[in-house]
Amino acid sequence: MEGGTIIEDIGYDHRRYYDYFGVDYRLETRFWNKVDAYSNVSTRVPELTLDQLDEHLGLTTPAKKETIVTNEITDMKNTAIALEGLDKETVTAYVGLCEDYLGRSVIIKGNLQTMPYLALSEIGNGLVLYATNTLESSTKLVTVEKKLCIQ
């Protein structure tokens, strides 16, 4: 770090005994057990894992992962997702929610590559997960949002 120094006498050789490593308010890099050693106001100190450090310093951008917004789904029956622009993980997450709802594994009927929707609807004897061109009027289109997670 420019203008900073590593304080060797505070335990680089004994770093496993300390909870925190960071740059203190004097721009010195140190190991310490109290977060307030890094700032006069402890609430201003961001605590980062090593995985988050590069992103915090602006060296990388965070990976984004798509996940289903589960808080808007109270009943999986008659729900669907629009497949356009979704990655395999997002579709798999929706299928997993359907399986949890049904209490069993499901097989997707139809071709996901050629159909715009994936729906869990009542067909014949029960609920079926299928790819379709159109949605029934009772089918709720479930939104998908990107949630940030560091990978």
pLDDT of residue 30: 76
Q: Are residues 73 and 37 in the same domain?
A: no
Total-model pTM: 0.52
Q: For residues 16 and 114, which has the higher predicted lDDT (pLDDT)?
A: 114
Domain that holds residue 23: 5-47
Q: How far is CA 22 from CA 43, 55, 65, 108, in A?
A: 15, 15, 28, 50
Which secondary structure element, helix H or strand E, spans residue 22, and what is its range? strand 20-23
Task: Give me the chain's average pLDDT, please.
Answer: 76
- Please give the share of the chain, as a percent, with pLDDT higher than 90: 17
pLDDT of residue 118: 94
Q: Are residues 19 and 89 in the same domain?
A: no
Structural domains in the chain (count): 2
pLDDT of residue 52: 73
Q: Quote the distance between the C-alpha of residue 24 and its chain's center.
A: 30
**pLDDT for residue 58 is more than 70:** yes
Q: Are residues 43 and 70 in the same domain?
A: no
Q: 81 in a domain, yes or no? A: yes
In contact, 118 and 91? CB cutoff 8 Å:
yes
Q: 52 in a domain, yes or no? A: no
Model confidence pLDDT, tens digit, residues 96-144: 888 988 889 999 999 999 999 999 988 877 889 999 999 988 898 887 6
Adjacent-strand bridge partners of 146: 66
